[in-house]
Amino acid sequence: RDTGPPPRGGMGSRSMWQGDGMSQEDFMAKDECIVLDENDAIVGHASKKQCHVFSPEQPRGILHRAFSVFLFDTQGRLLLQQRAASKITFPNVWTNTCCSHPLYGYSPTEVDTPEDLASGAPQGVARAAVRKLDHELGIPVGTIDPSAFRFVTRLHYWAADVVTHGPQAPWGEHEIDYVLFAVADNVPITPHPDEVSDYKYVTFDELRAMMHPSSGLLWSPWFRIIVERFLVTWWPDLDAVMAEGRHVDLTTVHRFDPTPEHMGGAGQAGPWLDLASPPPPPRQPP
């Protein structure tokens, strides 16, 4: 883990990201996530594996930056994906269109500064979103321009993957997640079988039916939080979100513990983020 000077635009020796012929284990070792403090300030970078290990030494892994894309069509339907069985963290779960990480060390940069966020259009996470939409769903680069994304807000959450790996799960997520909306029609989709096992466009009512416990479907913890806390309000206002920035919040980092089924893991992590209090000052998780 490197906790040296924060990465700035253009830093790093690598050029464009390449994922051809690489396994999930390869990505865990190669990809460098952007490490943060609890106020979303960059403090370094670390491998994807280091960030996602839950252990007694780091009960909630290492806090890092992420993004979640919500891609709608002009009928207002949301594109969902089911993560592939070969994924190391949270396999087989249904979730939003695309969820991944902006990475350190590439050009053009995927590292957003506070000034980028204050502009309302952080292009680092948007570039990362375009990259991963191509890699995961086969949506060609150029189909959705980075400038077409509407940044909505940030979500700080953590979750141990005990549903997949059992009570002593060595894997989980601990992220400040940048939520991105986009609207596009006639999007070509060719899922990568090691990333996505299924996909589906849904209305809000169809999503609620899919998320009912009787369906037996698994859902990502970050998507469940976003749906229950925010999407019930945002989705009916989709046109206003995209056209005029309704519900956009450039300053708040919303903080949520996971539901009980995603607590625990190898570090026995329990409730921590207090919904009723303001964002805490920087500190290390206990």
- List residues with catalytic annotation: 99, 175
Q: What is the 3-state secondary structure (H, E, C) of the chain?
A: CECCCCCCCCCCCCCCCCCCCCCHHHHHHHCEEEEECCCCCEEEEEEHHHHHECCCCCCCCCCEEEEEEEEECCCCCEEEEEECCCCCCCCCCEECCEEECCECCCCCCCCCCHHHHHCCCCHHHHHHHHHHHHHHHCCCCCCCCHHHCEEEEEEEEEEECHHHHCCCCCEEEEEEEEEEEEECCCCCCCCCCCCEEEEEEECHHHHHHHHCHHHCCCECHHHHHHHHHHHHHHHHHHHHHHHHCCCCCCCCEEEECCCHHHCECCCCECCCCCCCCCCCCCCCCC
